[in-house]
A and B are shown apart, each in its own frame.
Chain A
């Protein structure tokens, strides 16, 4: 069976600096997969290549078996590849519902309509509202994102990504900057996401990673160190060495 998302000997050099070195990676359909690694391991570079923000130096990427290496960001999104950002990149001066609705409108192809008021597009608004509701944000729909606490902003970020109805969802540190009390809520939300979406999560919060992921890939110095189940990763000696001094492992 073809993987939901796959990379084949993906490389990225910045001059003499190699930040991704022949990464062969498979994300299975409906997977709950985590990508971990120490700072500077090349996780974000890898994600940026997968989403099309960064061109690889060599190698191939496939989305559902289709070669997407030459495609730009927008084209990959249209094919079902959604992502959240490590640093919030929301529309801070717009209400939460507009953040989601802008995305839904793009997907539905109504964003070119110039004449009918946006508030008449019930289908777009209802779907956006439903998404906010699943993330427990129904009461905050009309609040400008800038006025929401950071944890809730992260949830809006996920709602926006879900608005694309992705087949593959890349979550770049969904719990970063969120107090540990609230990171449980993020985990609950992630656990409740539809099973058919393949999810790849990049996260430093090992607690969250080990509870969420069924499979873990460890990246170190731009290359895959090891891949396995959470139990295998936790027991792996090389992973311990890479993470030496980090108390979670």
Chain B
């Protein structure tokens, strides 16, 4: 089954769904030198989950999701540099700030569809990029914003130089996000989003407030993206202009397609494979590593529409077919 959710779907957590968490903990124990990369992967998984909510579940095509990621990253950074470096407070503020931006932009752009919508999402992230670039007093402009030190989490866990705390922090936040997104996907609200994606006109005909439902899903997604952005700021203790602009949005979309759109674990597999491949290729072929990424994407798009999880599905179906 491709899409989770709906009124007859089994919403209980299956055994295999604990696998990612087990792997993450094993990684913590056995690969300590990879923890900074691991933290980044976990952060991007949250960001990919947020994108999956709009692209995969609601059917809103966007190339501007970095606007909300960047909003969260800068809110967390500015808060830490000027007011308080309390991490959880920073996360909450950034989530609310990005959610608010998502709501305000959502009510404007979601009146459009298709290419017009795509252009507007691009415009919004470009606007945000330019604002961050020019408002150097707040954001540090092209130099970025750094020089702040996060306080210990809950006053107990200090961020260490090996990134151990940061990794576990990211893992805990991702776990909370995963649980919430999972609840959302299996809820009647999630089912109605699937309805909007599958057949917008029909949803109108059964009396669903389609537009408001899209705005709310967009807002939730933006808040989640902001949370991911804040997490990146706090774990790297730096914000640069790279968190905005459509390059990051595009990269994220590639990760999601690679993993498999419209399914929770596509957002897990995509960033993991993409970022680990990028790390490996950049070490092996410092000059040509983008070529490798390009090849992977071409292969995925040409031969496996459902992403990596699509192949896994097909493999399992075949195995069941031959063993039965």
Q: Do A and B share a complex?
A: yes
Please give, as numbers and ranges, the residues of chain A lying within 8 Å of B136 by CB-CB distance. none
Also in contact, A89 and B189, with CB within 8 A (given A74-B207, A103-B206, A125-B7): no
Task: Verify if B186 is at the interface (C-beta below 8 Å from A).
Answer: yes
Also in contact, A102 and B192, with CB within 8 A (given A77-B205, A89-B199, A94-B198): yes
Which of A36-44, A113-121, A229-237 lies at the interface with chain B? A113-121
A-B contact pairs, 11 of them (CB 8 A): A73-B207, A101-B7, A102-B191, A103-B206, A111-B189, A114-B183, A117-B11, A117-B186, A119-B6, A119-B186, A125-B8
CB distance from A17 to the nearest CB of B (A): 24
Also in contact, A142 and B189, with CB within 8 A (given A74-B208, A92-B198): no
Contact with A along B189-219 (1 / 0, CB 8 A): 1111011001101111111110001000000
Please give, as numbers and ranges, the residues of chain B lying within 8 Å of A93 by CB-CB distance. 2-3, 198
Indicate if the CB atoms of B198 and A89 lie closer than 8 Å. no
Please tell me which one of the listed residues A78, A97, A164 contacts residue B8 in the complex, with CB atoms under 8 A apart: A97
Task: Verify if A160 is at the interface (C-beta below 8 Å from B).
Answer: yes
Also in contact, A116 and B187, with CB within 8 A (given A89-B202, A102-B195): yes
Indicate if the CB atoms of B205 and A128 lie closer than 8 Å. no
Indicate if the CB atoms of A118 and B188 lie closer than 8 Å. yes
Please tell me which one of the listed residues A75, A90, A110 contacts residue B202 in the complex, with CB atoms under 8 A apart: A90
Indicate if the CB atoms of B209 and A74 lie closer than 8 Å. yes
Task: Verify if A107 is at the interface (C-beta below 8 Å from B).
Answer: yes
Also in contact, A111 and B199, with CB within 8 A (given A74-B207, A93-B3, A98-B7): no
Tell me the B residues contacting A by CB distance below 8 Å: 2-3, 5-11, 183-184, 186-192, 194-195, 198-199, 201-209, 213
Please give, as numbers and ranges, the residues of chain A lying within 8 Å of B205 by CB-CB distance. 51, 73, 77, 83, 85, 89
Contact residues of A between 107 and 146, Cβ < 8 Å to B: 107, 110-121, 124-125, 128, 141-142
Indicate if the CB atoms of A107 and B191 lie closer than 8 Å. no
User: In the complex, what distance in Å separates the CA atom of A142 from the CA atom of B8?
Assistant: 8
Please give, as numbers and ranges, the residues of chain A lying within 8 Å of B198 by CB-CB distance. 91-94
Task: Verify if A188 is at the interface (C-beta below 8 Å from B).
Answer: no
Also in contact, A117 and B206, with CB within 8 A (given A102-B191, A142-B8): no
Task: Verify if A151 is at the interface (C-beta below 8 Å from B).
Answer: no
Also in contact, A115 and B187, with CB within 8 A (given A74-B209, A97-B8): yes
Please give, as numbers and ranges, the residues of chain A lying within 8 Å of B10 by CB-CB distance. 119
Tell me the A residues contacting B by CB distance below 8 Å: 51, 73-75, 77-78, 83, 85, 89-95, 97-98, 101-103, 105-107, 110-121, 124-125, 128, 141-142, 160, 163-164
Task: Taking A91-B195, A93-B2, A93-B3 as given, write out 14 further A-B residue pairs in contact, using a Cβ cutoff of 8 Å, ordered by the A residue number.
Answer: A73-B205, A74-B208, A89-B199, A101-B191, A102-B203, A105-B7, A105-B192, A106-B192, A114-B183, A117-B186, A118-B187, A121-B7, A121-B188, A125-B8
By beta carbon, the residue of chain B nearest A157 is B202
Also in contact, A95 and B208, with CB within 8 A (given A101-B191, A106-B192, A121-B188): no
Also in contact, A90 and B199, with CB within 8 A (given A97-B8, A164-B206): yes
Most buried by B among A83, A92, A102, A142: A102
Please tell me which one of the listed residues A75, A83, A102, A115 contacts residue B183 in the complex, with CB atoms under 8 A apart: A115
Indicate if the CB atoms of B202 and A91 lie closer than 8 Å. yes
By beta carbon, the residue of chain B nearest A93 is B198
CB distance from A204 to the nearest CB of B (A): 22
User: In the complex, what distance in Å separates the CA atom of A106 from the CA atom of B202?
Assistant: 12
CB distance from A189 to the nearest CB of B (A): 19
User: In the complex, what distance in Å separates the CA atom of A160 from the CA atom of B173?
Assistant: 40
User: In the complex, what distance in Å separates the CA atom of A51 from the CA atom of B207?
Assistant: 11
Also in contact, A105 and B188, with CB within 8 A (given A91-B199, A98-B8, A119-B8): yes
Also in contact, A89 and B201, with CB within 8 A (given A98-B6, A164-B207): yes
